[in-house]
Chains A and B, each alone.
Chain A
């Protein structure tokens, strides 16, 4: 029962390696092999997967954003979480998102990605001006950014760890047939949480890079003037 905390498996030059890190390595091998095989033997399947992710991400971003620029980041997030949340099914493996360090790392990556994409799209001064349009909103904006990161972390970690723990507890009590539907519930929760994480990340990126329509027209007029002169 004390095994909520991740267990240390071995030491690598003095660094402790936990079981979630080993699971992440196995996941990396599986994803790379699957990507190489799909690319060589069934490129139509790869196209279908990418179109599905494109559809999911585009459904929450506003109309005229260029989704393709952000699709590599969001797509790899989606594939990592889709495999990672259900990884406890495999024997001797534990899902990497049961460790709060993994989910915290993903949330920090999303946090920095939002600001980097926003600055790249609008310029540093423009981005800060957009954040602080009524000037007293700025502390609220900063607090909301931090709380969004924290809530992404704890939502993913709590959901996946609790479903894992329920399966473990029921398996200790009634090991016969009852863990199977609970494990299926855990897999469903994992897929749903992967979808939610990706959708929330794309929402945050969309809210950071969206430009008001007036600004967009002004920019296009400026570009036309520069091209004609």
Chain B
């Protein structure tokens, strides 16, 4: 009954791994970026004169935090669209 050939098996596991990976890879950076914005807004409220410095620092830090989400998106895209393992096991 479990007569799955290796190509089908690789595709099933790829779909599962891709969905779990993309959910986790988007959830954690988003929560942490919200944390960073929260602290930055606290700082701006406390000292409105430093708003420009805080804004610059905030933008740079958010771009750096976003890049880890992009790493996971990149791996998922490669798995879905240009999966190298599919040919290796003659799927």
Contact A162 B70 (CB under 8 A): yes
B49-71 interface with A by 8 A CB criterion: 56, 59-60, 63-64, 66-67, 70-71
A131-183 interface with B by 8 A CB criterion: 151, 154-155, 157-159, 161-162, 165
- Say if the beta carbon of B82 comes within 8 Å of chain A: yes
Question: Least Cβ distance of B68 to chain A in Å?
Answer: 9
List the A side residues contacting B71 at CB < 8 Å. Answer: 154, 158
Question: Least Cβ distance of A156 to chain B in Å?
Answer: 9
Contact B56 A4 (CB under 8 A): no
- Do A196 and B70 contact each other (CB < 8 Å), given the known contacts A2-B81, A162-B77? no
| C-alpha gap A154/B67 in the complex (Å) | 8
Contact B82 A2 (CB under 8 A): yes
| C-alpha gap A59/B73 in the complex (Å) | 31
- Say if the beta carbon of B74 comes within 8 Å of chain A: yes
List the B side residues contacting A196 at CB < 8 Å. Answer: 59-60, 63-64
Closest to B74 in A: A158
- Count: A-B pairs, CB below 8 Å: 45
- Say if the beta carbon of A193 comes within 8 Å of chain B: yes
Residue of B64, B67, B77 contacting most chain A CB atoms (<10 Å): B67
| C-alpha gap A200/B59 in the complex (Å) | 12
Contact A155 B70 (CB under 8 A): yes
List the B side residues contacting A2 at CB < 8 Å. Answer: 81-82
Consensus secondary structure, chain A interface: helix
Closest to A196 in B: B63
Interface size range on A against B: 20 to 34
List the A side residues contacting B60 at CB < 8 Å. Answer: 60, 196, 199-200
A191-206 interface with B by 8 A CB criterion: 192-193, 195-196, 199-200
- Do A159 and B81 contact each other (CB < 8 Å), given the known contacts A59-B56, A196-B60? no
- Say if the beta carbon of A92 comes within 8 Å of chain B: no
List the B side residues contacting A159 at CB < 8 Å. Answer: 66-67, 70
Question: Least Cβ distance of A153 to chain B in Å?
Answer: 10
Contact B81 A158 (CB under 8 A): no
List the B side residues contacting A158 at CB < 8 Å. Answer: 67, 70-71, 73-74
Interface 1/0 per residue, B69-86 and A, CB below 8 Å: 011011001000110000
Given A2-B81, A165-B77, 19 further pairs, Cβ under 8 A? A1-B81, A4-B77, A4-B82, A59-B56, A60-B56, A151-B67, A154-B70, A154-B71, A155-B70, A157-B74, A158-B70, A158-B73, A159-B66, A159-B67, A161-B77, A162-B77, A192-B59, A193-B63, A196-B59
Q: What is A's interface to B at a CB cutoff of 8 Å?
A: 1-2, 4-5, 59-60, 151, 154-155, 157-159, 161-162, 165, 192-193, 195-196, 199-200
